[in-house]
Chains A and B, each alone.
Chain A
């Protein structure tokens, strides 16, 4: 292994000219490197949290690879990531086979750390407002309604002139937790039309345009005409039009607001039968009138085999769930800050990690 070291030294030398080469003297006790891997929907928020944490603890480096939720869970199970970011909590089978980096006889814990809304963005030549019912939405995304002038859409949008324009539904081409959340909601609100259940890869038979990543969907919707797509809040700008949702088309339509998301989270019970510090939520999407909510979890060991790693992960996740962390991420990720009792409980749980 002579070559790698040589080039490492070379790299260090080049790096020295640019910045100091690692090994900054820590101002407090914490120092070291921690690896996190997971959902790309959490990338923006994690960037903020990592920056906050590294600023407070200059000796620590937290690396967050936005490889994807699945990659994050796999990496956590393999011991290749100290914590994972995931768009869903671990399932029972995954809980039963914990990572070898966790201390013996302990189970991992799931902490909801990022709540965001999934926006249904559209671009229909000048139309600024759109309301969709469960059926209409499911039919649009399954290719059963193909034109914006369809009377079924007009029925739930009285007073809005919709053009005679073919609908191009845009979905993710890559496997994604956002797709899983969105299709999960569809399966819950329109089970008769959306028969695929929650899936992380869009079912090809429903057609539509495929785009890579949240940014790809957003770009495709913006570029096209008559397009509609779904994207988590981190990728959506205020300038974009988002549809509102009304379950049956009669009830007052609700947009992707923080209140709606908070209401869903507040109404969702905690999954029973898991450890005292596990906060897996059984999402009750119908609680607030806006069902497209994305809850992203941090998955960590409750006790790490390596206490040093445990200390850093515990401190990091405490930072993540702190008021500063939750509010600080808002301008970047558009998340809905966790607050109140739930946040306090999760904070307590995070503090027990070591």
Chain B
């Protein structure tokens, strides 16, 4: 009873024009300010990183030369492992997304989607533990087989690692980690395929797969690219799983199956931060800045490809 009265009062109060205006201005100010905070935080991230990285950018290290000489191998490793991860993850993700959106029985689709989302939430350190204790030893025979029979392909050449802690294993772990991100986004896009077009295709006698190839995939292409870019962003920055699983060093080598692999920027930071002297910390932060710049570029590229800002319409 009293509640009702109060709510009536509230409405009355808000009907008073000037009161509403003050509140409106304040609320608009607060929410705009929050948007501003986002800008400030990002600017702060950039400024702090640049400030901390500056000494390393301006002065080189006698052992590595300038910063680019130092970071280049790690940059290669970062891009190479992310590329491999995407190469594995994108087709699989598209397959899962299609399964959920077009193949799975309705009752199964929701739990399946949940299971895939669960994969996304597993902490990276758990992936690292699993990769190093389960996946790597499991893949050792595959490594030996590949080097033995397919060793003539440069990627598979060299001596097979005895522990399985290689580029192949690490990129597989990364692929599993980015898979749910790509899946959930492409799934959304596939579900938005106009029903009429699908039905028209089927009515013309197309098989289901022909319908998907001619209607669903073209419709979802930009969505797949955008999702892949997001997955790429995650793969580029993944730290713990790579640091734990990959047997990495500072080198440029595309081989997949040997013990000697290029490390990634993020893993190198995690591995080197503890023992770094102050010059080393600056250098590591500078590499972090490079990584940050790359993720921004990837993000912008993704948006350019998908065409403008996402979902403008309400």
Contacts and interface: CB of A to CB of B under 8 A. Distances in A.
Nearest to A174: B271
A210 B253 CA distance: 15
What's the dominant secondary structure at chain B's contact region?
Answer: loop
B275 A176 contact: yes
28 contacts: A40-B274, A70-B280, A74-B276, A74-B278, A74-B281, A173-B271, A175-B272, A175-B275, A176-B275, A177-B275, A201-B272, A201-B275, A204-B251, A204-B260, A208-B260, A209-B162, A210-B247, A210-B249, A210-B259, A212-B244, A212-B271, A216-B132, A219-B132, A223-B162, A223-B163, A224-B161, A227-B162, A227-B163
Given A175-B275, A223-B162, A207 B260 contact: yes
B263 interface: yes
A71 interface: yes
B137 interface: yes
Interface residues of B, number: 30
Interface of A: 40, 67-71, 73-74, 166, 168, 173-177, 200-202, 204-205, 207-212, 216, 219-220, 223-227
B162 A211 contact: no
A87 B248 CA distance: 24
A70 B276 contact: yes
Nearest to B276: A70
A209 B275 contact: no
A224 B162 contact: yes
B275 A202 contact: no
B132 A173 contact: no
Contacts of B247: 173, 209-211, 220
Nearest to B271: A174
Nearest to A223: B163
Please give me the 4 A-B residue pairs with the lowest Cβ-Cβ distance, nearest first. Answer: A68-B274, A175-B275, A224-B162, A209-B259
Contacts, number: 93
B243 interface: yes
B21 interface: no
A226 B161 CA distance: 11
A294 B259 CA distance: 27
Contacts of B162: 168, 209, 223-227
What's the dominant secondary structure at chain A's contact region?
Answer: mixed
Contacts of B132: 216, 219
A60 to B, nearest CB: 26
Contacts of A71: 273-276
A209 B160 CA distance: 11
A209 B165 CA distance: 8
B260 A70 contact: no
A70 B277 contact: yes
A212 B270 CA distance: 10
Contacts of B251: 204-205
Interface string B235-269: 00000000110011111000000011001000000
Contact of B163 (A69, A174, A220): A220
A175 B283 CA distance: 14
B275 to A, nearest CB: 3
Contacts of B272: 174-175, 201
Given A67-B274, A200-B275, A204-B260, 20 more contacts: A68-B275, A71-B276, A74-B277, A168-B259, A173-B249, A174-B271, A174-B274, A176-B275, A177-B275, A209-B161, A209-B163, A209-B247, A210-B249, A212-B243, A216-B132, A220-B163, A223-B137, A224-B161, A225-B162, A227-B162
B204 to A, nearest CB: 57
Nearest to A205: B251
Nearest to B270: A174
Interface in B146-173: 159, 161-165
Contacts of A74: 276-278, 281
Given A204-B251, A223-B137, A211 B276 contact: no
A62 B243 CA distance: 29
A40 B271 CA distance: 13
A200 B137 CA distance: 28
Pick the most buried of A68, A70, A177, A225: most chain B CB atoms within 10 A of its CB.
A70
Nearest to A123: B162
A220 B161 CA distance: 10
A220 B132 CA distance: 9
